[in-house]
Structure formats: structure tokens, C-alpha cells
Amino acid sequence: MESLIRIYGDPVLRKKSIPVDVFDSDLEDFALKLKEYMYKYDGIGLAAPQTGHSKRIIVVDPTAGEKEPYILINPEIIYSSEEKSDYDEGCLSIPEITLTVNRPTVISVRAKNEKGIEYTLDKVDNLLARVLQHEIDHLDGILFVDRASPVRRQLIASKLKKMAKSHH
């Protein structure tokens, strides 16, 4: 079965996504599709660019289906803690690679839901904070491998090159 997820090397993953300004049934349908794909591929977050759409939309569910997933449209981080922590991250767009990434431990995010209603996730931490930062990075064309230490990136450079070649 053909994967609907764009893989490292696809130019859409490096583009800065365009803000959403039309909140209609098409957008609601697209948000539902993103949720479906996230669960289908066993992800805990998914950004629109990973499906080939350069729109500022992410879905996040660190509970893997135990709670209702968050749909965040035009999300922006409005607070990041000074304190940071390391955690091993992976990505549906960079299969079979995990790297330790250092990110703020606590963040606040302002976004809109699929109906256009603004809300804030205030001072979230742990896995939710991590996944939100990872997915919001996708909207800016930043991948988790970009945030890993240069030494760790060097260790996977050839794997990434191969991946980019085979998915182009």
C-alpha cells in the first residue's frame, strides 16, 4: 500500500506553510483526514505538510487515542520555559530514525480549532509540549533532525541521503 506520508527529501517538508484564513467544511474534512492518517500510521502528531499540503494545520494526540486529539490551526508558541530537556524523537516523515532533541519543557500555544474558534493550551508539559513543538516545527520547514546535535546528525547523514534519494 502506498504511504500518504511525505518522506524526507520531499521539498514540501522544507517549505514554510501558509496560514489558514478560510474556515469551512473543506477545512473540517481536511482536519478529520489528518486525524485519520495520524492514527493509521501510529503517530502521535501529524502536520499538514507531511501529507503534501503546505497549510498551518497540525493534529496532536500524545495519548494515542485515549483522549480526543487536538486540532491546531495557525498554531503559535506564545511561551517557552527556560528549562529544557532531552528526549528521543522520531517522525513519520523520517522513518526508522530517532535522535535526542533538546526542547523547552513547558510551552503555551495559541491556535484556532477547525471552526475558527481561538483557544490556548496554557503551560503544557511532558509529551504534549514535545509533540506540539515538533509538529509546529514542520509548519516552518524544520525537521527534528535539524534540532539534534551536529555529532548525532553526522551519524545519520548517509541514512538521510539515501532516504532523500529513494523518495524523490
86 pairs with which residues across the strands? 102
What pLDDT sits at residue 2?
Answer: 52
pLDDT grade for 20, boundaries at 50, 70 and 90: very high
User: For 16-37, what is the mean pLDDT?
Assistant: 96
Cell representation of residue 92: 513519520
What are the structural domain ranges in the chain?
A: 11-166
What pLDDT sits at residue 159?
Answer: 92
Distance from C-alpha of 80 to C-alpha of 107, rounded to nearest angstrom:
4
28 is catalytic: no
Distance (Å) of CA 30 to CA 55, 56, 159: 10, 12, 32
Fold of 11-166: Peptide Deformylase (3.90.45)
Q: Which residue has the higher pLDDT, 130 or 152?
A: 130
What pLDDT sits at residue 37?
Answer: 94
What pLDDT sits at residue 1?
Answer: 36
Q: Are 112 and 44 in contact (CB under 8 A)?
A: no
Q: Which of 28, 82, 118, 135 is catalytic?
A: 135
CB neighbours of 22 closer than 8 A, spacing ≥ 6? none
Long-range CB contacts (within 8 A, 24+) of 116-120: 116/23, 116/73, 120/78
Please determine, for residue 148, whether its predicted confidence score (pLDDT) is greater than 50: yes
Q: What's the mean pLDDT when you consider all of the chain?
A: 94
